[in-house]
Amino acid sequence: MMSKYPLLGMTLIELQSLVKRLGMPGFAAKQIASWLYDKKVTSIDEMTNLSLKYRELLKQNYEVGAEAPVEEMRSVDGTVKYLYPVGENHFVESVYIPDDERATLCISSQVGCKMNCKFCMTGKQGYSANLTAHQIINQIHSLPERDKLTNVVMMGMGEPLDNLEEVLKALDILTGSYGYAWSPKRITVSTVGLRKGLRRFIEESDCHLAISLHSPVTAQRAELMPAEKAFSITEMVELLKNYDFSKQRRLSFEYIVFKGLNDSQVYAKELLKLLRGLDCRINLIRFHSIPGVALEGADMDTMTRFRDYLTTHGLFTTIRASRGEDIFAACGMLSTAKQEENNKS
């Protein structure tokens, strides 16, 4: 029996093309979009302003395609990690992070990752597949706390710019008036920086941009992040200077502080030199150790000194609060465990 195609993850243009193909009236596309993204239904039968005839027609080859998470891990601090099935024996993680007035969901864009950053558990999995817009949007649609969400960050498994077509489709659904109608200011996309993808993302989306930096020294960054060899951080900064980040849109740089590696004032000075002239901020991140990697996180005193040095020299810097440490906080650990468990059985 052929599996049905999911409606979830279709843009308005795709829905318009679908209803035309099925001989349904043009306005049905907006009705379907409203059921999917505003009323968040889980079945075609719930789309009650479509005639029974059209619902039956849709059901022949299509379904909503909502898939609930198969596993969850809850932290003592309220953070919840969810595991979503995406195809045959593949899983991705999403992390729900409640924090006072805000509730952020960290979502994935690929199964595994090609970037192979030294400090990343997902990179150790290697790359398996790109997620479709359906699989990206489902992480939000099928989230138990969906209605509490204020922000989405694409900082989970995978490199978003390596799956740009599907990521842009998902962002269109999240920000389009026919979709979730969110302000782009509620969404941040994180990337190691891929030359072609970066330019396109900046020009075709208004969402915030976060660059994984982790070292201002080219040779050291290349050791931590092989992607540096293809598109260096200095070239990236030159490209970013062509765009205006002084208004609504935020540019930030993620910087994991490793003990004895990139945590001294020498590196803070190099950061100031590298980012001079860019309207941006730095997020300092504590490192969660992962199996088989000999890197350690810097202590809080070192991070505080690092932050204060940058801030007093005019670079707005924050230390990101560490969350979910008791539930395999590093992305990729839960899905790796699940995949291995399924391979054994």
What would you report as the CA-atom Rg of the chain, rounded to the nearest whole angstrom?
A: 21
190 annotated ligand-binding residue: yes
Which of 67, 93, 166, 228 is the catalytic position? Answer: 93
Is 161 assigned to a binding site?
A: no
Q: CA 31, 105, 289: angle at the middle one, nearest 5?
A: 155
Judge whether 158 is annotated as a binding position.
yes
Say whether 17 counts as a known binding-site residue.
no
Q: What would the DSSP string read from start to end of 9-45?
A: T--HHHHHHHHHHTT--TTHHHHHHIIIIIS--SSGG
Cα 180 from Cα 251, distance rounded (Å): 23
Which residues are within 8 A (CB) of 10 and not within 5 positions of it... i.e. 6 or more apart? 18, 36, 133, 134
Whether residue 331 lies in the annotated active site: yes
CB contact set of 86 (below 8 Å; sequence gap of 6+): 92, 111, 129, 131, 135
The one-letter amino acid code at 22 reads L
207 is catalytic: no
DSSP 242: T
How far apart (Å, rounded) are the C-alpha atoms in residues 129 and 344? 21
> Is 117 flagged in the annotation as binding?
yes
212 assigned binding-site residue = yes
Dist. CA 103–CA 94, nearest whole Å: 13
Q: Which amino acid is at 306?
A: F
Per annotation, catalytic residue among 106, 207, 280, 331 = 331
Which residues contact residue 301 at a Cβ distance below 8 angstroms, ignoring those fewer than 6 apart?
Answer: none
d(CA 181, CA 176): 5
3-state DSSP call for residue 163? helix
Catalytic residues: 93, 331
Which residues carry a binding-site annotation for S-adenosyl-L-methionine?
A: 158-159, 190, 212-214, 288
Which residues carry a binding-site annotation for [4Fe-4S] cluster?
A: 113, 117, 120
Which residues carry a binding-site annotation?
A: 113, 117, 120, 158-159, 190, 212-214, 288
